[in-house]
Structure 1
Amino acid sequence: MTYDLKEIFGYFTPEGTYLEGEPYGSGHIHDTFRVQTSESDKDNYILQRLNNKIFKDIPQLQNNIERVTVHLNKKLQLIPGSNLKRECLTLIPAKDGKSWIIDKDGNYWRMYIFISDHRSYNIVDNTDKAFEGGKAIGRFQAMLADMPGGPLAETIPKFHDIENRLETLNRKIKEDPAGRVASLTEEIKEYLSRSEEMKTILKLGRSGKIPLRITHNDTKFNNILLDENDKALCVIDLDTVMPGYVHYDFGDSIRTVTNTAAEDEKDLSKVEMNISLFEAYASGYLSETGKTLNEVEKEYLAFAPKLITYTIGVRFLTDYIDGNNYFKIHHPLHNLQRTRAQMKLVMSMERQYEEMQKIIRKLV
């Protein structure tokens, strides 16, 4: 579908004049466009058509992002040499003062300043990048630890709630809507045999031993921008910033940073966790959060990657049993392939778990 980007640009209050706009990035949720302005001394911008089928309350979503970016901006102002437009996302208000608009066709849109001269990576190929990624997420969490006001809204309820995910899996196993359960004996056994252990973080939270904090909840590495020297710059994609446990962010980062193969690798012999990248990321992360986290949070950091890798595996398995209705697939067995690859990564983490714990203890 085509949109009149110049008209939509005109609903907002940017500096500069619209020159041209084109699709930007590889995101699957929103439609994203980069807008170039005519003036060389003015910012360029990101326009996004927001997916209100996944995010059903756009004002609530935008309120979360407004609160987070305003707080981060205030924190950065206290750090000498900070570049506010590059180290934090900047929302551009619409002419009515809101941070979003609704076009004549009922589409929701928002606008950010485009962060120039950045680098982002889907694959982490050295420990320096892993360290900087950990530093970026750690700084993000640490800066938000004292954000005033009430809790942020849950933009996707129970997103990382493994008890909820397991309830859904067990229900789909009983229903067997696509007639696949009989062929999945081994996969179901591997996942369900670990189910009680994976409830550990939720139990620690309910007992008051770890607090709910503000977490990003989608910390794959390409949501971290590095500068032209591959130093930590900015954390992006704030749609899922909401209450959570720090282990969700740390775990998802390790899942994506340290995997020696693709998320959907068919050849399971290629799937391992790179312990050197784990140590580098953890070092960067704890360099920023060491004074923020309590002792129990630190103690269970090594467990976090197992939990989040397992959780996404449960979601892939559930979707495969259900007939592939949620995740985009490229072939009928794609979710099964993903399911097996995530379990192989969990097993690799289990084999290296004692070493992971030693690394965390050394760093704290």
Structure 2
Amino acid sequence: MQIVNQIAEVVANFNCSAAVDSARNYGSGHINDTFFLKNATSSGPDYLLQRINHHIFTNVEKLTDNMRKVTEHLKCKLAQNGSGDPLKEVMTLIPATDGRFYYQDSVGDYWRMFYFLSDTKSYDVVSTPTQAYEGGKAFGKFQYMLSDIAPGEMFEVIPNFHNIQYRLQQLSEAIANNAAGRVSSVAAELDIVTKYAESMQYFQQPGQVAALPKRVIHNDTKFNNVLLDSNDKAQCVIDLETVMDGYVAYDFGDAIRTIINTSTEDEADLDKIQLNMPLFEAYVKGYLKEAAKFLEATEVDSLMKGALLLPFMQAVRFLTDHINGDVYFKTKFPGHNLQRARAQFRLFLMLNDKASEMQDMILTEMESLSPATN
């Protein structure tokens, strides 16, 4: 079925007035397909329509229930404390005509729809401390507002998503299978994995499992998952499909992975990948301004562990997909996943060299907030 016919069928099954002929690709996500649709009436809101990759998110009903729980919780929190506009600061799911918040079309694809938040923007690369600070505030506030949801209430949409032991096992299986015949060409990358694999398993150590509380977290805190307004002020956290239980350091680490890098996630010229420390400091200030309201000391101590883990783990995932023949992440050219993996390993190694200094910056900022937050 042609995509325009699919979209026409889908739109007819949602409670909306979207103009099908206005559909255009939107965003830069690796997993789902997103389309922007104009409202057929000039006075109405526009829409975002997403085709869910149900090969990755295999339980669409539970996935959608997670998103509904989280968005309703956030909207209630904002309404109760009068601190913001729930319609602008939280994504709004649009129900299908059968009352569910997703639709399965005649060819088996699953879709969901949101109201489009106008006059907002996102960045793949952070360029100013103001942007980094606002991103930190957004994710810190997001975690804080969800901190009263008990662990276990969210469905685990992707089991072992940030479990590095599981990711390393996937890599080992990919090496053993060597499906695309690429293992011999990635010896340097595999050497990095071997050298640091043990130290990266911090969050699976029994002592840390006992000491660190599980929280409801975002699990995919790339900076482009924060929408900023026209003044570069944080407005809304988006892409909520991976919201489930985890450690706050996972969110912190993934955000730092995308904020501190002076280039892109898939930079080919590794010399362009440097650490923008002013952006790190700004993000920490913004994040702790909100997150210090609920974080325990053990969680603060774990933040830099997350900042090391996430680029390492993302590199492992890209490398695994490259070895498997590029079956998971969307790629734009041959070798794209290997290029991504090399960029993330480079970022990890640079962060590892600066980890102690960066942790001191976190602790210093936390101490400066203590009188106001404790």
Do both proteins adopt the same fold according to a TM-score greater than 0.5, normalized to the shorter chain? yes
Question: 1:78 Cα deviation (Å)?
Answer: 1.8
User: In structure 2, what is the equivalent of residue 93 of structure 1?
Assistant: 95
- Normalised by the length of structure 2, the TM-score is 0.90
Higher alpha-carbon deviation: 142-151 or 213-222:
142-151
Counterpart CA distance in 1 for 2:33 and 2:120 is 20
Counterpart CA distance in 2 for 1:330 and 1:35 is 25
User: In structure 2, what is the equivalent of residue 25 of structure 1?
Assistant: 26
Partner SS state of residue 34, structure 1: strand
Which of 65, 68, 75 is residue 70 of structure 2 equivalent to?
68
Partner SS state of residue 22, structure 2: strand
Matches within 5 A, 1:292-331: 292-331=294-333
The answer to whether the 8 A contact 2:123-2:224 is kept is yes
User: In structure 2, what is the equivalent of residue 287 of structure 1?
Assistant: 289
**1:224 aligned partner, one-letter code:** V
Partner SS state of residue 301, structure 1: helix
Question: 1:113 Cα deviation (Å)?
Answer: 1.3
Change (3 A) 1:73 1:222: same
Change (3 A) 1:327 1:93: closer
Higher alpha-carbon deviation: 225-234 or 205-214:
205-214
Change (3 A) 1:99 1:169: same
Change (3 A) 1:205 1:53: farther
Question: 1:81 Cα deviation (Å)?
Answer: 5.4
Q: Percent identity?
A: 44
Partner SS state of residue 352, structure 1: helix
Counterpart CA distance in 2 for 1:274 and 1:17 is 42
Is 1:3 matched with 2:4? yes
Q: Deviations over 1:94-135 (max 9, x none)?
A: 232211122333332222111111111111101100000111
Higher alpha-carbon deviation: 140-149 or 59-68:
140-149
**1:191 aligned partner, one-letter code:** V
User: In structure 2, what is the equivalent of residue 226 of structure 1?
Assistant: 228
Q: Deviations over 1:217-257 (max 9, x none)?
A: 11111111011111010011111111111111111111111
Question: 1:206 Cα deviation (Å)?
Answer: 5.8
Counterpart CA distance in 1 for 2:186 and 2:33 is 36
User: In structure 2, what is the equivalent of residue 259 of structure 1?
Assistant: 261
Which of 106, 109, 123 is residue 108 of structure 2 equivalent to?
106
Unaligned runs of 5+ residues in structure 2 are: 367-374
Higher alpha-carbon deviation: 294-303 or 36-45:
36-45
Counterpart CA distance in 2 for 1:68 and 1:260 is 32
Matches within 5 A, 1:325-340: 325-340=327-342
Q: Deviations over 1:177-210 (max 9, x none)?
A: 4444344333212211111110102226763211
The answer to whether the 8 A contact 2:4-2:20 is kept is no
Counterpart CA distance in 1 for 2:323 and 2:110 is 34
The answer to whether the 8 A contact 1:31-1:49 is kept is yes
The answer to whether the 8 A contact 1:21-1:33 is kept is no
Higher alpha-carbon deviation: 196-205 or 71-80:
196-205
Question: 1:264 Cα deviation (Å)?
Answer: 2.2
Matches within 5 A, 1:201-280: 201-203=203-205, 207-280=209-282
Matches within 5 A, 1:83-232: 83-147=85-149, 150-203=152-205, 207-232=209-234
Q: Deviations over 1:304-353 (max 9, x none)?
A: 11100000111122223333333333444333322222121111112211
The answer to whether the 8 A contact 1:205-1:212 is kept is no
Counterpart CA distance in 1 for 2:171 and 2:50 is 33
Unaligned runs of 5+ residues in structure 1 are: none
CA-based RMSD of the aligned residues comes to 2.1
Higher alpha-carbon deviation: 314-323 or 340-349:
314-323
Counterpart CA distance in 2 for 1:363 and 1:262 is 27
Counterpart CA distance in 2 for 1:153 and 1:56 is 12
Higher alpha-carbon deviation: 53-62 or 323-332:
323-332
The answer to whether the 8 A contact 1:254-1:305 is kept is yes
Counterpart CA distance in 1 for 2:193 and 2:11 is 48
The answer to whether the 8 A contact 1:44-1:113 is kept is yes
Change (3 A) 1:354 1:52: same
- Normalised by the length of structure 1, the TM-score is 0.92
The answer to whether the 8 A contact 1:52-1:58 is kept is yes
Change (3 A) 1:23 1:358: same
